[in-house]
Structure 1
Amino acid sequence: MDANDVAELAKMDIIVTCQGGDYTKSVFQALRDSGWNGYWIDAASSLRMKDDAIIALDPVNRNVIDNGLKTA
């Protein structure tokens, strides 16, 4: 499968990627624009400061993580 194929990726509920910021920048917004509303789990910094981003590996943000999962 092609990791850049937005139509194939859009079939998934959750995407876990370790491809880096360039991949995230090239694929994530295209997925959202296609109507995809799944979970994107990524260590790249390219989305980290977005208003709707949740840093899930930081235990200090536990209430933010829980609230984000409830509203997703």
Structure 2
Amino acid sequence: MKKNKTIVFGIGNIGRQDDGLGWLFLDHLKEKQFNHLDLEYRYQLQIEDAELICNYDTVIFVDAV
């Protein structure tokens, strides 16, 4: 179980112009070597993500809505 950890969800679709903001944000974090963050690319959240989320103290969602 991961505690005192942060996960960032980039949500969107890179093929749909500005809807890809979440993924582009995660790419930027990788480029800047934010290696202490766990990054997850998603087209949309699924119920199964709840199990993953509960293992983190901090959860950040990046989505162009």
Q: TM-score, normalised by structure 1?
A: 0.32
Q: Which structure's CA Rg is the greater one?
A: 1
Higher normalized helix content (fraction of residues): 1
Higher normalized strand content (fraction of residues): 2
Of structures 1 and 2, the one with the larger relative CO (CA 8 A, separation 6+) is 2
